[in-house]
Structure 1
């Protein structure tokens, strides 16, 4: 994919697999909803005591995967190799959470009381901002009959 196609693809998707380096050296992959800031950095939120946050405190490198497609000819993916920044300022966390997209089913299910619960949990959360330094991508729909 071109750089613009990567930006457009990431802007259109909802979920990312974030792989951090676990304490035993094994990858620790987790699916998360994400958003993009105005610089194209990938934003997620998590509880500060989570394993992924502990992993990133120890080693701020991560590999992120966004993928789609049901058949081989439809497969599209972007891998972002990134450096992570953990942000614990409640105002910045709340602002970042506004940029994180959720699946339509999840968004529709959020009641006022659930929103209040999320606000109350800000003290326990962090915002993780991933700054990609390398992308790898593929789009099998471009292959036509040549795969």
Structure 2
């Protein structure tokens, strides 16, 4: 058995992970890598961001991006799924509503209550823009547990 995950195993790992790592490009081509909350729908990644976020400006300028999830602390536990693809802004209100509902379902228990946030922070996150990351066909995956067996 190799180290690679099957596409179904990789998408299961993506669906069950909590936080992803999104890399977008600045105007001069430098990568900016940030942790993000996300949802999986139809083998794409849904994201949300405040409308004034620089992430949104970067995506509008250059949609090329990558997305990564990883887990494990010991080398023998390392597992990851890396996707390359493009990110576009969701303009269809029904699709944006579906992403928002999926975010609510996945992350409601992890959010800081709005009343506990400073007013400027609360206002910054009051409205969201929604993004869709569409991966290319090839994904890079590995699961080192397959080398050493279950722990």
Tell me the TM-score range normalised by the shorter chain.
0.7 to 0.9
Q: Distance in 2 between matches of 1:98 and 1:45?
A: 11
- Aligned-partner SS, 2:126: helix
The 3 A distance-change label for structure 1 pair 92 and 127 is same
For 1:83, the equivalent position in structure 2 comes to 86
TM-score normalized by structure 2? Answer: 0.79
User: Aligned match of 1:13 in 10, 13, 17?
Assistant: 17
User: Aligned match of 1:42 in 42, 45, 57?
Assistant: 45
1:1-147 alignment to 2 at 5 Å? 1-37=5-41, 39-88=42-91, 92-100=95-103, 101-102=106-107, 106-107=110-111, 109-110=112-113, 121-122=126-127, 125-133=128-136, 134-144=138-148
Structure 1 position 35, deviation (Å): 0.5
CA contact (8 A) 1:45 1:93 kept: no
TM-score normalized by structure 1? Answer: 0.81
Structure 1 runs, 4 residues or longer, greater than 2 Å off: 88-95, 100-104
Q: Distance in 2 between matches of 1:4 and 1:92?
A: 24
How many residues end up aligned between the 2 structures? 136
CA contact (8 A) 1:77 1:137 kept: yes
Where does the alignment leave 5 or more consecutive residues of structure 2 unmatched? 117-121
Structure 1 position 71, deviation (Å): 0.7
Structure 1 position 50, deviation (Å): 1.1
Q: Distance in 1 between matches of 2:30 and 2:82?
A: 18
CA RMSD of aligned residues (A): 2.4
- Aligned-partner SS, 2:29: coil
- Aligned-partner SS, 1:102: helix
